[in-house]
């Protein structure tokens, strides 16, 4: 096992927001995303990932799939291997097949999830040793079982979690800071799912900042969460803030707009 393989990445894959993102899924309507602004914010997201030293390829928008900018839900990348997942929302069923050819072009090995189960990438948190998979409204037991077999064959341990019902995706409420430290909302951490790891709790009034991403030496958080920024800086993380207001209108955090891997 290479220390840091869960946050040191040579590459990332992103997909441009589609104009159809105005019809993206959302639990509560807080307004329609402004597509021009979404594109601008997405371009900044890509630029900041490049600033960490990773090479980023940006795929064309997929108009038939309003949520396809959230590319993380359609695949899981572990090192040089990609696993094509089966996103659980009906409007997102076709996203995995649409992404597979790009993964074939890029990755050394591509494995497709077998069976009829569902897994959204947003329900998966990977550390150096463990793959946490959360059961949720999008990820079911059959999907977890099929994915577990694959990730175990790649040398990872699996931890299955019952994601609390108030949380869309397991990773909506957590993110990896380093090989032994996880940032989490209190609600999720209270389940005990991170036993054996150091957990840094998101300030209660800033739990929406929990879905951060660590890429190389940078920790990306959404802008507007000053207590989270201070907390992370006090723990010596280099924090980069990003304004992703338009993605947030579609219940999206930061991790879901990239697939991160090393070739």
The least CB distance from residue 218 to ligand CIR, in Å, is: 19
| 11 in active site | no
Least CB distance from residue 107 to ligand CIR, whole Å? Answer: 20
Nearer to ligand CIR, 25 or 235 (CB): 25
Which of 14, 42, 169, 174 is flagged as catalytic?
169
The site for ligand CIR (CB under 6 A) is made up of 24-26, 67, 70, 72-73, 89, 92, 121-122, 169, 172, 250-253, 256
Pick the closer one to ligand CIR by CB: 45 or 70.
Answer: 70
- In the bound complex, what is the minimum distance in angstroms from residue 71's beta carbon to ligand CIR? 9
Give whichever of 117 and 122 is closer to ligand CIR, judged by the CB atom: 122
Cβ at position 215, least distance to ligand CIR in Å: 16
Whether 256 is a known active-site residue: answer yes
Instruction: Using alpha carbons, list the distances in angstroms from residue 2 to 125, 134, 173, 194, 224.
Output: 17, 24, 26, 21, 34
d(CA 20, CA 208): 25
Q: How far apart are CA 8 and CA 120, in angstroms?
A: 22
Q: Which is nearer to ligand CIR, 122 or 143 (CB)?
A: 122
Give the integer Cα–Cα distance in Å for 156 and 150: 9
> How far from each other are the two terminal CA atoms of the chain, in whole angstroms?
15
Q: What is the CA radius of gyration of the chain?
A: 17
For 110-129, b where at least 16 C-beta lie within 10 A, e where not — what string? bbbbeeebbbbbbbbbbbbe
Q: Whose Cβ is closer to ligand CIR: residue 137's or residue 236's?
A: 137
Least Å from the CB of residue 35 to ligand CIR: 15
The C-alpha atoms of residue 130 and residue 151 are separated, in whole angstroms, by 9
* Neighbouring residues of 101: CB distance < 8 A, sequence distance ≥ 6: none
User: Which positions are catalytic?
Assistant: 169, 256
């Amino acid at each position: 096992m290479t220390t840091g393989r869960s946050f040191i990445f040579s590459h990332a894959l992103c997909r441009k927001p589609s104009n159809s993102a105005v019809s993206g899924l959302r639990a509560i309507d807080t307004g329609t995303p402004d597509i021009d602004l979404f594109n601008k914010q997405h371009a900044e997201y890509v630029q900041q990932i490049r600033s960490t030293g990773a090479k980023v390829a940006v795929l064309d928008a997929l108009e038939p799939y309003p949520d396809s900018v959230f590319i993380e839900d359609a695949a899981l990348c572990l090192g040089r291997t990609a696993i094509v997942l089966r996103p659980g929302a009906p409007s997102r069923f076709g996203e995995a097949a649409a992404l597979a050819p790009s993964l074939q072009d890029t990755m050394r090995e591509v494995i497709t999830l077998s069976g009829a189960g569902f897994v959204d990438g947003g329900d998966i948190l990977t550390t150096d040793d463990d793959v946490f998979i959360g059961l949720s409204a999008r990820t079911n037991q059959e999907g977890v079982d099929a994915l577990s077999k694959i990730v175990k064959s790649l040398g990872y341990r699996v931890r299955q979690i019952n994601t609390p019902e108030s949380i869309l995706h397991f990773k909506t409420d957590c993110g990896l800071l380093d090989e032994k430290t996880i940032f989490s909302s209190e609600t999720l951490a209270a389940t005990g799912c991170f036993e054996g790891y150091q957990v840094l709790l998101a300030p209660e009034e800033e739990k929406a900042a929990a879905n951060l991403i660590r890429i190389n030496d940078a920790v990306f958080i959404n802008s507007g969460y000053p207590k989270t920024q201070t907390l992370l800086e006090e723990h010596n993380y280099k924090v980069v803030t990003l304004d992703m207001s338009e993605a947030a209108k579609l219940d999206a955090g930061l991790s879901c707009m990239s697939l991160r891997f090393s070739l």
